[in-house]
Structure 1
Amino acid sequence: MKDPASPPRSRIFRLAGQALPAPRLQPGLHVVATPIGNLGDVTVRALETLAGADLVACEDTRITHRLMERYGIETPLTAYHDHNAESARPRLLALLADGGTLALVSDAGTPLVSDPGFKLVRAAIEAGHRVVPIPGASASLAALVAAGLPTDRFFFEGFLPAKGGARRSRIAELRGLDATLVLYETGPRLAESLADLAAGLGSRAAAVCRELTKTFEEIRRGPLDALAAHYDEAGAPKGEIVLVVSGPTEEEASDADVEEALRRALATLSLKDAASAVAAATGRPRREIYALALTLERTSGD
């Protein structure tokens, strides 16, 4: 897959003013984590891999070029993203079949986390090629360790659905998950998503982690409803955003407990008053309790 007419390139990288040779890589697909903002967070092994590979596949060649230029790496780049993956993948697999070394990077962080790399890795494995992980920065893990919330069990959700109805349905599915939740979000949707999370999960502790490792890094902690109110008033923030939300507390009532409490309340109170009382007692959103009360009332009348 090499062009015999292309000039030879230097397989070196520059670190602290020194030119260092890249060791020979084993043939295969090398999945390389890159910095999420601060270019100083790259690992030496990642630099060795990027310099030693025959080709680097990346989401945006302009972004990856900045990293390569910073460390004096001359390896050619090729675009591999959602819009060209189907046509680009056979060419990358052909390079591997020829015994070449391919480095796969994302725009920032660890590849395959909310990016199109999974299909390439799967295809490489199916074709019998070696896949080598080169670990490093990850926005989700960076946010998790800075949020101040439990880390013994966590669930990476990625992006919630963009449309409100689908987003609220997904949040309802996540409500009973006994784990800290890690999500990605965009600035324009942040306030609305926080409000939906507060309505669906209650006033759980959370952290909004924005522009991690960059100049304007911000970590804002507080209850979901307070964070929603802040960003609704402040407007959409810029940059990459990770949300970290605590799991359910021991005090949060189970669905069965809520239903039983509603049945008892409905025996003596109006539907509206019963829903308000049970919402206050359980910490569940009033809108959710009211909808359940309507269902119970219809069922009892059948």
Structure 2
Amino acid sequence: MSISDRERKSADFRADAAGKAEGGASSAFTAFGLRAEAEPIRKGLHVVATPIGNLGDISFRALATLAAADAVVAEDTRVTKTLLAHYGIATPLVAYHEHNAAVMRPHLLARLAGGAALALVSDAGTPLVSDPGYRLVADALAQNIEVISVPGASAVLAALVVAGLPTDRFFFEGFLPPKSAARRQRIAELAPIPGTLVFFESPRRIVETVADLAAVLGPRDAALARELTKYYETVRRAPLPELAAALEAEGPPKGEIVLLVGPPDARALIDNQDDIDARLTDALETLSVKDAAAIVSAATGQPRRKVYARAIELTGSSESRNKSDEKTD
């Protein structure tokens, strides 16, 4: 960094500090029973990770940033207010979520362009992972507004490191579609990915989602992490069919859920025709011949063209004749 850059950033620090001082807001926070005054932070959008359940899982830098910011931009201000109150932080809160993002984003960008230091948080964990913060960050960067990462807790990584599944490659999907047919189609598209798959899911849909994963992906190893970092944290590890059967028998678990599925085993080619036919028959109850063939092909490792032909035989469908020019792999 050049001397002029240092001088400019120092001037930014002083200007931000003066602005907050004029507004009468405190930049202090409390940790381990000690009250500390946060150092001024530079102007821009600070993307701050917050705890995913245990309020102790937050860094001193994150606390200092939240305390020193001109405002904290939060998904649900009620949730973030609890965190700020726990650490004695009095920074004003601004709501920014999927329902008001289009209206609030220009206002926030104007504040940033005017020299404000804003802290962007999600309800839990690292912002921009399944929340509306992405567009705000993208638009800020497009306007040459600095974006600063303040890293910390992440439900994705917290689940991944305790799942017992490969971590060298993983793919975060977020939430699968709510309808079974669309969900199975998406699972089939994800099936060839050579890494651990990571999903978020609600307790309301977890039983059906795991059943669909088992139907499409077969006996892959899986882990269901629930209430991570909280008192009742549990991680259940089992092959997908076993996990699906357990959830069906016991009912859905409560709390926040991260579901992980291991990568495909290149050796696990399913060539039992009765098994393939059973999978096709099940899939054809709700899907077209083309989509059913795609899902069963992904689950068994059999060529899609071969599975498609067998699906035609099983149904006597005219789909291939009506769409004779339709391409299959």
Q: TM-score per shorter chain, which class?
A: 0.7 to 0.9
Which structure 1 residue ranges, 4+ long, deviate > 6 Å from structure 2?
1-4, 288-291, 296-300
1:293 aligns with 2:310: yes
Greater shift, 146-155 or 7-16, is seen at 7-16
**CA pair 170-274 structure 1, distance change in 2 beyond 3 A:** closer
1:251 aligns with 2:267: yes
Tell me what 1:168 maps to. Answer: 184
Task: Confirm or deny: 8 A CA contact 2:191 2:299 kept in the other structure.
Answer: no
Counterpart CA distance in 1 for 2:28 and 2:110 is: 25
Task: Confirm or deny: 8 A CA contact 2:226 2:233 kept in the other structure.
Answer: yes
Counterpart CA distance in 2 for 1:76 and 1:152 is: 40
1:143 aligns with 2:144: no
Kindly provide the amino acid, as one letter, of the partner of residue 293 in structure 1: R
**CA pair 15-276 structure 1, distance change in 2 beyond 3 A:** closer
**CA pair 31-62 structure 1, distance change in 2 beyond 3 A:** same
Task: Confirm or deny: 8 A CA contact 1:109 1:136 kept in the other structure.
Answer: yes
**CA pair 18-274 structure 1, distance change in 2 beyond 3 A:** closer
Tell me what 2:232 maps to. Answer: 216
Q: TM-score, normalised by structure 1?
A: 0.86
Q: Helix, strand or coil for the counterpart of 1:34?
A: coil
Q: 2:36 aligns with which of 13, 20, 38?
A: 20
Tell me what 1:98 maps to. Answer: 114
Task: Confirm or deny: 8 A CA contact 1:207 1:245 kept in the other structure.
Answer: yes
Tell me what 1:269 maps to. Answer: none
Task: Confirm or deny: 8 A CA contact 2:188 2:299 kept in the other structure.
Answer: no
Counterpart CA distance in 2 for 1:293 and 1:134 is: 54
Task: Confirm or deny: 8 A CA contact 2:197 2:260 kept in the other structure.
Answer: yes
* Residue pairs, 1:1-302, within 5 angstroms: 8-253=24-269, 275=277, 284=300, 293-295=310-312
Q: Helix, strand or coil for the counterpart of 2:231?
A: coil
Counterpart CA distance in 1 for 2:170 and 2:313 is: 34
Tell me what 1:268 maps to. Answer: none
Question: How far did residue 235 of structure 1 move?
Answer: 1.4
Q: TM-score, normalised by structure 2?
A: 0.79
Kindly provide the amino acid, as one letter, of the partner of residue 133 in structure 1: S
Q: Helix, strand or coil for the counterpart of 1:206?
A: strand
Task: Confirm or deny: 8 A CA contact 2:216 2:299 kept in the other structure.
Answer: no
Counterpart CA distance in 1 for 2:279 and 2:151 is: 50
Question: How far did residue 10 of structure 1 move?
Answer: 1.3
Q: Helix, strand or coil for the counterpart of 1:230?
A: helix
Counterpart CA distance in 2 for 1:46 and 1:67 is: 12
Percent identity between the two aligned chains: 52
**CA pair 275-95 structure 1, distance change in 2 beyond 3 A:** same
Kindly provide the amino acid, as one letter, of the partner of residue 252 in structure 1: A
Task: Confirm or deny: 8 A CA contact 1:30 1:104 kept in the other structure.
Answer: yes
Kindly provide the amino acid, as one letter, of the partner of residue 138 in structure 1: S
**CA pair 152-292 structure 1, distance change in 2 beyond 3 A:** farther
Question: How far did residue 190 of structure 1 move?
Answer: 0.5
Kindly provide the amino acid, as one letter, of the partner of residue 145 in structure 1: V
**CA pair 60-274 structure 1, distance change in 2 beyond 3 A:** closer
Question: How far did residue 275 of structure 1 move?
Answer: 3.6
Question: How far did residue 60 of structure 1 move?
Answer: 0.5
Q: Helix, strand or coil for the counterpart of 1:40?
A: coil
Question: How far did residue 294 of structure 1 move?
Answer: 2.3
CA offsets per residue over residues 215-265 of structure 1, 9 Å max, x none? 111111101111111111211221110001000012123xxxx7xx68xx7
**CA pair 283-98 structure 1, distance change in 2 beyond 3 A:** closer
Unaligned runs of 5+ in 2: 1-15, 281-297, 325-329
- Superposed CA RMSD: 3.0
Q: Helix, strand or coil for the counterpart of 2:167?
A: coil
Unaligned runs of 5+ in 1: 266-271
Task: Confirm or deny: 8 A CA contact 2:215 2:279 kept in the other structure.
Answer: no
Q: Helix, strand or coil for the counterpart of 2:138?
A: helix
Counterpart CA distance in 1 for 2:231 and 2:31 is: 22
**CA pair 3-12 structure 1, distance change in 2 beyond 3 A:** closer
Kindly provide the amino acid, as one letter, of the partner of residue 128 in structure 1: N
Question: How far did residue 292 of structure 1 move?
Answer: 5.4
Counterpart CA distance in 1 for 2:64 and 2:240 is: 43
